[in-house]
Amino acid sequence: MTKENPVFENLMKDFNSELSHSGVNGERVAQRLYELSEIGYTQIGGVTRPGLSDEEKSAKKLVKNWMVEAGLKVSEDGAGNVVGRLEGRDHTAKAIASGSHVDSVPNGGNFDGPLGVLSALEVVEAWKETGYTPDKPYEVVIFTDEEGSRFNSGLTGSRAMTGDITQQEIDQLRDYNDETLEQVLEHYGSSLQQFREAKRDLSELELFVEVHIEQGKKLEETGQPVGIVSGIAGPAWTELEFIGEAGHAGNTPMIGRKDPLVAASEFIAKIAEFPGQVSDTAVATVGKVEVSPNGINVIPGKVTLHADIRDIQEDTRNELLDRIIDEAKTIAEARGIQLNVQQNTKILPVPIAQELQSELAESLVKYSITPTYIPSGAGHDAMILGRHLPVAMLFVRSKEGISHNPKEWSSLNDCVSGIHVLKDFIETRMKR
């Protein structure tokens, strides 16, 4: 344990040991969160584990070892998705699955993704310690490249598993080193053919349930450790390329310039006006800008923006996307700038069935937690699977709602409370 990384000590500092019961072990969860936090560790306390990177692969390897020790049969498909399976009493029954991801955004936090994976695995550990055998098969899943920091197009693993990634998308994917998906997969130890073969027969699954940090403040406001996700917003990731004329910053008169950075800046300033025009839950963000040639004394020739547009309703999300693209066209035309638009990701929002929300609420009440219902503005692997089979989600309280940041934090008390709720929910579903 490095002195620079205090994750384990901070988790254990205020932990209520009485929450370790029924086979669930809070100290084990803390130790595993710490060990994962060491992979891709950054000096300000975060992690950098891009999808299909050596760091993500190392994190998966560590969890796979834990899966084997817990008695799971482990497999990995050509997209890098890992599945640990525990057979139930009825081998012919459809499986219940739970999990998340272990990749991160650049300098991200230690809970977004890993908490869902470790929660799903801790259920198995608890069953092992208490001698419980589930009635149906149970699977712990790690999805590849959920965050999308590698290709600017996320949920890669779950889309490969469901067959929801098209050949056109595969051909267009380029990472931050301008490598194709095929090149990245070869370095990872797979191939494009194996990636295509990752599509799974989803009729083998009855249900997928994901645990995730909230990425918001609703649970803090209500004083509850765990909440129920009522629906998941669908993101539309759009790449907008403004192309002008590069020139010398000193010798080119201001009149007549075709500066794509000026056009892009005007667009960025305007984009914040549109979400409120279509919905109370819609959001739009420009989170990445690339300027070329990016010289201090050079008028840029090209600026590429990556816009993240989302809402929990498909019609308002699409209306917002159309308005934003129309605004970009208007600005580009007025300034004599060429505009190229490419849709990298467009995912349907997913509602959570009322029946599943009610069953989660029953599990919460068993642990004296008042049910709080929260729409998820962020995309998740559960959203992709939710287009093909029933899905459910639990949120665990996150300090100040911070995520995608080294300051991201959920107390061990809340994490373990989430595991107990997950375990009870799964055991109840096993009996149906």
| Helix H or strand E segment including 162 | helix 156-162
Distance CA 409, CA 111 (A): 7
To 5 degrees, how large is the angle CA 399–CA 405–CA 407? Answer: 45
Binding-site entries for Zn(2+): 101, 112, 147, 212, 404
Q: Which residues contact 428 (CB under 8 A, 6 or more apart)?
A: 359, 362, 363
At 138, the amino acid letter reads Y
Annotated binding site: 101, 112, 147, 212, 404
Residue of 330, 347, 348 whose CA lies nearest to 339? 330
Q: Phi first, then psi: what are they for 310, rounded to 5°? A: -155, 160
β pairing state of 73-76 and 82-86: antiparallel
Backbone φ and ψ for 96, nearest 5 degrees, come out as -100, 135
Q: Computed from CA positions of residues 18, 19, 21, 25, in that sequence, does the dihedral angle turn out positive or negative? A: negative
Task: Report the candidate in 307, 337, 302, 304 with the shortest Cα–Cα distance to residue 322.
Answer: 307
| CA 87/CA 71 separation, integer angstroms | 10
Q: β-strands 298-299, 82-86: how paired?
A: unpaired
